[in-house]
Amino acid sequence: MKHYIFADESNTDKSRFMLIGGIWVDEPTYLQVIEECKNFKQSNGWNENTKFNWKNISKKTLSQYLKFIDIFFKYNLQFNCIIIDRKEINLKENINNDAELGFYIFYYELLRRNSKKDIPYYVYLDRRSNKQKSRGETLKQLLQKDMHPVNKFGFRTTDKGKNIKVLEFVNSNTYNLIQFADLIMGAIGYHYNKKHLKQDASSHKSEFAMYIANKIGKTDLIFSTDKKGYKNLNLWLYLPNKKLAKK
C-alpha cells in the first residue's frame, strides 16, 4: 500500500522557533480526504485549488478555516513536526557552513524518525527557493541510505534506509494536506514564539490556535512529545546536544 507524506516549513523568518512538519497518510485515507476537501471548497463556491494558509486567517475567513481543519481531525490524520530553537542551533555552523544544507538535514531527521522501513513513501514538499537545485535528490538519497550521526566511537551507523519512491517539490495550491500542515504549524509557531501574548496579536489567529489545542485536550500548543506523539500531533523539540547527521 502506498503511503504519502505532505510537508512544509513555518516561522523561517527571524522567529526563535522554526518548524518543519507534515502529514503522514495511507493511500485509501488520502483519497477520501482529498475528495472531501474538494467537496468542501466547491460547496463554498471556491475553486478546488483555493489555498488555505496561516497568514490569511482573519475575521472574515476564520469560520471556514475552522471547518477546513476539522477535516484533518475527522480522518484522524497524523501530523509530525520538528521544532528548532535558533537560539540554540545555528544551521550554518552545524553543517559544513551551509545553512541550506543544515535546513534539509533537519528535514531528514523529521522524515527518518517518523517513517517506517519497507513502506513505499511518496513525499511531497512545499516548493521553496533553493540555492542548489539538487537539495531534493540529496535528501532522498540520505533517507534511502538512512545515515545516522557519528556515535561516541567515531563511527557512523547505517540501516537499510527508507523506501522513498518519490520526493518532489510541489505547489501547495493543489495539495490540501500541505495546507493542513501549514495551518497546524502556523498555530504551533504562534504559541511557541509567544505571538499570541503580544499586544497586537490577531484574535482570530489566537482563536484558531486554541481551537486546535482544545481538539487534542491541551491548554496550549507549547509541548514536546515522545516518538509516539500526542493524539494527532507529534511535536519534537530538537535537543541541541544531539549531533546532526552529515552528508
Q: Any idea what the CATH number is for the domain that residue 20 is in?
A: 3.30.420.10
pLDDT of residue 117: 86
Residue 77 is given by DSSP the state: -
For the stretch 38-49, pLDDT in tens is 999 999 888 888
Other CB atoms within a 10 A radius of the CB of residue 62 amount to 17
For the stretch 203-226, pLDDT in tens is 999 999 999 999 999 999 999 987
- The whole-model pTM stands at 0.89
Inside any domain, residue 84: yes
- Residue 9 neighbours by CB under 8 Å, 6+ apart: 18, 19, 20, 21, 103, 126, 128, 185
Q: Which residue has the higher pLDDT, 245 or 209?
A: 209
For the stretch 76-106, pLDDT in tens is 999 999 999 988 877 666 556 777 777 888 9
Inside any domain, residue 31: yes
Total domains in the chain come to 1
Give the span between the Cα atoms of 52 and 13, in whole angstroms: 20
Rounded to the nearest integer, the mean pLDDT of the chain is: 88
78-85, strands of its sheet edge to edge: 164-170, 121-126, 3-10, 17-26, 78-85, 233-237
C-alpha cell at 12: 523561517
pLDDT of residue 220: 96
Query: Is the pLDDT score of 227 beyond 70?
Result: no
- 136, containing H or E segment: helix 135-145
Question: In which domain, by residue range, is 50 found?
Answer: 3-237
Inside any domain, residue 54: yes
For the stretch 230-244, pLDDT in tens is 778 999 998 775 544
**DSSP-derived pairing of the beta strands 17-26 and 3-10:** antiparallel
Inside any domain, residue 246: no
Inside any domain, residue 245: no
Inside any domain, residue 243: no
